[in-house]
Amino acid sequence: MDFVKGIDKYPWVDQCEKINVRQFLSLWESQDLSLELELNEESLDRKAMEICNINEETIEDIKEDLDPEKLNRDKEWKDYLYGNKLSLPNHIALRSVAAQVSHIEKCEQNDKYRRIANQSLKYRNYTFLNNQDASKNSSDEPKIEGLDVILNVQVFRPMHHSLHVGEHRKHVNLIAEQEFLCLGRQLLTALKDEIICSVEVNPAEDCSDDPEKERPSARELYTSSFFFIDDCFYNDFRSANNIDCSQVIMDWAKNKERGIGTLRTAKMEETRFNDLSIRLGQPYVYVHQGDCEHMIVFPEMRLFCPQTDSPFLRDYPKVFKTVNRNACKCLMCHINVAKWIVLENKRLPYEPYFFCNQCFMSFNYDSEKKKIGHFKAFRYLDESAFL
């Protein structure tokens, strides 16, 4: 059983075949891939000349024509974004060209249209990080030997449960904040250790009584967490203090009337990505700090490619894509980035209220650093500082 409520509404996920990562790898290991794995620019040229029966001069011409640099359309792209005149052939009767011409004209004439069009660009808010490693020449680092699988893992922004009212849900923006490249041979804990969430980088306690006191972060104090993948809770038990956060859900799911079926548990630190059976595109869950829930999705799985992927084990899990964020500003001065969240303060118009350091101290404390009235204060590190 692979229970996801309402998954039948998404046939591209529901009907997607479940893939066992180890079987996927074994399938490719049984094929002779020696040629593909050993290909470099020189041997690729030789092979292409042999297969196509062409000489070296022709292959150089083809390489020059297909140079990716020639696909660089930075200038035209900026013209498109800012609505400058972009010359498109007007003698072509294709509807797509007519739509593009009309779109550019609208961009030129209507600022609002141009702004909305730009905001709707799918990858506008993402930064793609280079998959190549600068230190590729250092030979003493452990390298990836043989075949392996590379899985893309998207980690989404945590869900806000306050947006749920019974069965109904207000519109929630699903934003993949980080996308990782993980190796099939790696443990799930390797991914967990790389996920950064603003909830755990600060102390999880009210700091209003002594805001300058050093406190351990929530990440250092509360290390229990789990991944929920293919009806199995993978709990992190590396620390003796960790608790089984999934137990309460297991107990809740035992009620047959809920129709959830049997759920399993396993140790995160003993499970490799190769041990998983996954559906590409299906939502799974990562839960930490008790109730901070991140949807995770595997959008892609492929073989490790020695020609383009970093060969060093230490480079994985590798952050491959991050979302661009605008820093949350102090609500009082609207200049500095927020460093504090204040709750239960009757002197403030909103809750939660975000303060920078200066405004926080000047508004909430007197000259002797004594609290003015009742309030709770939590340290805040804006995600733009680390994502």
Is the distance from CB of 377 to CB of 364 less than 8 angstroms?
A: yes
The smaller minimum CB distance to Zn ion, of residues 48 and 285, is found at 285
Q: Which is nearer to Zn ion, 285 or 292 (CB)?
A: 292
54 or 327, CB closer to Zn ion?
327
What DSSP string describes 192-214?
A: HHH---HHHHS-SS--TT-TTS-
In angstroms, the first-to-last Cα distance of the chain is 36
Q: Give min distance, CB of 362 to Zn ion, in A.
A: 9
Tokens representing 291?
């109730």
Three-state secondary structure of 350-369: CCCEEECHHHHHHHHECCCC
Nearer to Zn ion, 266 or 292 (CB): 292
Looking only at Cα atoms, what is the longest distance across the chain? 86
Note if the bond before 352 is cis, omega within 30 degrees.
yes
Instruction: Report helix, strand or coil for 229.
Output: strand
Give me the amino acid identity at 374: H
DSSP 228: E
Which residue, 81 or 292, is less far from Zn ion as judged by CB?
292
Closest CB to Zn ion among residues 158, 203: 158
What is the smallest separation between the CB atom of 363 and Zn ion, expressed in angstroms? 9
Whichever of 25 and 342 has its CB closer to Zn ion, that residue is 342
- Shortest Å, Cβ 189 to Zn ion: 16
Going by the DSSP 8-state scheme, the letter that residue 141 receives in this structure is S
At a CB cut-off of 8 Å and minimum separation 6, what does 113 contact?
A: 106, 107
Output the smallest distance, CB 351 to Zn ion, in A: 17
**Between the CA of residue 64 and those of 46, 60, 70, 118, what are the distances in Å?**
16, 6, 9, 33
Residues that bind Zn ion (CB under 5 A): 158, 197, 199, 292, 330, 332-333, 336, 356, 359
Euclidean distance between CA atoms 323 and 173, whole angstroms: 13
CB of 359 to Zn ion, least distance (A): 3
Give the shortest CB-140-to-Zn ion separation in angstroms: 36
- In the complex, the smallest distance separating the C-beta of residue 27 from Zn ion, rounded to whole angstroms, is 35
